[in-house]
C-alpha cells in the first residue's frame, strides 16, 4: 500500500489538545492558540482541550501525561517554548515522553520557514513524535509559524500520522 492509499484509510476528523506554553499569555491574549483552534475546527477536527501552562517542566510534564492518558485525544499540539532561550523547555520536556521522533517534521518546518524568514528559521526546534499511539507536535509561539505548520504540514498528513502511530 502506498502513501496515497494510507491517506485514504486514515481518520478524517481527529481530537486535538492545544497547549500554549507561556508565562504571559491568557486565553484573551493567546492569538496563536486561538488561531490554531479556529483553523483545526474549520478543517473538520475537534479541539477538546485548550490549555495555557507555565514554562515549568513539572507543569508541562503533568499536562502532557494527563493528555496522553486521555482516551479521547489523538494529537497534542504545543505552542511556544521551541526557541534557544533558557526558558524554552517545551521540546526537552515533551521529548522525554516520545517513543519515536518524526525527524522530518522539524526539518520540513525549518525548510518552509526559511522561505518566509530566512536564516532565523534555524533557531526553532519545532518537533514531532509519537507516544502511546498519539502524535505530539511542538510549534513555535508566533502566529505565522503556527499557521504555516498547521496548513502546510499538519493538515495534509495528520490523519496519516495518527493511522501509523496506532498500528
**11 pLDDT band (50/70/90 cuts)?**
confident
2 within domain boundaries: no
- Tell me which residue range forms the domain holding 123: 13-166
CB atoms within 10 A of CB 129: 23
Domain count, the chain: 1
- String of DSSP letters for 76-142: EEEES--SSSTT--HHHHHHTT-SEE-HHHHHHHHHHHHHHHGGGGGG---EEEEETTEEEEEE-SS
CA-CA distance, 154 to 167, in Å (whole number)?
A: 19
Q: Is residue 24 part of a domain?
A: yes
Residue 163 above 80 pLDDT? yes
Residue scoring higher pLDDT (107 or 9): 107
Overall average pLDDT of the 145-155 stretch: 98
pLDDT at res. 89 = 97
Residue 47 is assigned to a structural domain of this protein? yes
* Averaged pLDDT for residues 115-139: 97
pLDDT digits (tens, 9 = 90+) for 17-47: 999 999 999 999 999 999 999 999 999 999 9
Instruction: Report yes or no: 22 and 80 within 8 Å, Cβ to Cβ.
Output: yes
In the block, cell 476528523 appears at: 13
Q: What is the CATH number of the domain that holds 85?
A: 3.40.980.10
Amino acid at each position: 500500500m502506498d502513501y496515497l492509499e494510507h491517506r485514504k484509510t486514515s481518520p478524517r476528523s481527529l481530537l486535538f489538545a492545544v497547549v500554549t506554553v507561556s508565562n504571559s499569555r491568557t486565553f484573551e491574549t493567546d492569538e496563536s492558540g486561538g488561531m490554531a483552534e479556529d483553523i483545526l475546527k474549520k478543517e473538520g477536527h475537534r479541539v477538546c482541550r485548550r490549555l495555557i501552562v507555565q514554562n515549568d517542566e513539572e507543569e508541562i510534564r503533568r499536562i502532557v501525561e494527563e493528555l496522553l492518558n486521555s482516551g479521547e485525544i489523538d494529537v497534542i499540539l504545543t505552542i511556544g517554548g521551541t526557541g534557544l532561550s533558557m526558558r524554552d523547555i517545551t521540546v526537552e520536556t515533551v521529548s522525554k515522553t516520545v517513543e519515536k521522533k518524526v525527524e522530518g517534521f522539524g526539518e520540513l518546518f525549518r525548510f518552509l520557514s526559511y522561505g518566509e524568514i530566512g536564516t532565523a528559521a534555524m533557531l526553532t526546534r519545532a518537533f514531532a513524535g509519537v507516544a502511546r499511539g498519539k502524535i505530539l507536535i511542538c510549534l513555535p509561539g508566533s502566529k505565522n509559524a503556527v499557521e504555516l505548520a498547521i496548513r502546510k504540514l499538519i493538515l495534509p498528513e495528520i490523519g496519516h500520522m495518527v493511522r501509523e502511530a496506532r498500528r
